[in-house]
């Protein structure tokens, strides 16, 4: 399985994602510059955390116009797996690939610490290696990670089993404790916690591997 890691000007978690899938998962990966109009021969795409140019306006608001996002939209519409982490989640929301919005944390402070997550659904290409109700430990590092959506959207996410993860203790004020969501087709997922920073014991937790192992499992089934 080959992963493509999108690199935006200012990205700072792209190498973390690359290392997680290449060294810890043992799968080939390549960087894809944001100005590229194609993704090449990849089986999955990761929009990493960190920053993207234009975040000073609103996180992801300018990055969504990068040429590579047209390729990401085509890839997703064809059923390709797309994972957005932290800033990547913000970009996916701004690009319309996922519903809702990410706004300033409750308390208006940047938060950087480990959190506990509950796996809300194991019925997705990103969570199938976990069990529903399983508790995972991963770090967060964001100032605008509060998930917000109208009641109708929240109800739809609940009814369609598209909430992938919920927070324990809700560090940022996200509505309904949402930490990660899925697209209707279930092949796009955005999450604020960083699975790539929890892929080996030296990091304090290897629970993040569950996400990447699930993606690998999904690709093998195809």
Q: Which residue has the higher pLDDT, 53 or 77?
A: 77
69: CATH: 3.40.50.880
Q: Which residue has the higher pLDDT, 50 or 19?
A: 19
> Which residue out of 13, 59, 86, 146 is catalytically annotated?
86
CA distances from 28 to 3, 90, 169, 209 (A): 6, 26, 36, 15
Question: In the predicted model, is pLDDT for residue 177 greater than 90?
Answer: yes
Which own/partner pairs from 147-155 qualify as long-range (CB within 8 Å, at least 24 positions apart)? 147/100, 147/101, 147/102, 147/174, 147/175, 147/178, 147/179, 147/181, 147/192, 148/100, 148/101, 148/102, 148/103, 148/174, 148/175, 149/99, 149/100, 149/101, 149/175, 153/99, 153/100
- Quick check: is 200 catalytic? no
CA distances from 71 to 48, 82, 176, 189 (A): 16, 11, 32, 17
Which structural domain range is residue 143 located in? 3-221
- Quick check: is 86 catalytic? yes
Q: Which residue has the higher pLDDT, 56 or 99?
A: 99
pLDDT of residue 222: 57
Q: pLDDT by residue (tens digit) across 87-138?
A: 999 999 999 999 999 999 998 999 999 999 999 999 999 999 999 999 999 9
pLDDT category at 52 given cuts 50, 70, 90 is confident
Q: pLDDT by residue (tens digit) across 127-156?
A: 999 999 999 999 999 999 999 999 999 999
Average pLDDT over residues 34-39: 96
pLDDT of residue 194: 98
- Quick check: is 168 catalytic? no
What six digits make up the tokens of 24? Answer: 């810890």
Q: Which residue has the higher pLDDT, 79 or 54?
A: 79
Average pLDDT over residues 10-35: 95
Q: How many C-beta atoms lie closer than 10 Å to residue 69's C-beta?
A: 22
pLDDT of residue 171: 96
pLDDT of residue 59: 85
Whole-model pTM: value is 0.96
**Structural domain count of the chain:** 1
């Amino acid at each position: 399985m080959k992963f493509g890691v999108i690199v935006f000007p200012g990205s700072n978690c792209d190498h973390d994602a690359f290392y997680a899938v290449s060294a810890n998962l043992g799968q080939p990966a390549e960087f894809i510059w944001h100005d590229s109009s194609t993704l090449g021969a990849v089986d999955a795409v990761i929009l990493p955390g960190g920053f993207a140019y234009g975040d000073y306006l609103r996180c992801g608001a300018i990055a969504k116009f990068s040429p590579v996002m047209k390729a990401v939209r085509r890839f997703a519409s064809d059923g390709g797996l797309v994972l957005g982490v932290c800033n990547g989640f913000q970009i996916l929301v701004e690009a319309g690939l996922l519903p809702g919005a990410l706004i300033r944390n409750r308390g208006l402070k940047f938060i950087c610490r480990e959190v506990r997550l509950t796996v809300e659904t194991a019925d997705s290409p990103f969570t199938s290696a976990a069990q529903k109700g399983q508790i995972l430990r991963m770090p967060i590092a964001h100032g605008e990670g509060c998930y917000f959506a109208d009641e109708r959207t929240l109800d739809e996410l609940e009814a369609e089993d598209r909430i992938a993860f919920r927070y324990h203790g809700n560090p940022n004020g996200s509505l309904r404790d949402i930490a990660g969501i899925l697209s209707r087709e279930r092949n796009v997922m955005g999450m604020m916690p960083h699975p790539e920073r929890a892929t080996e014991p030296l990091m304090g937790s290897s629970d993040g591997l569950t996400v990447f192992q699930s993606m690998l499992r999904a690709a093998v089934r195809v």
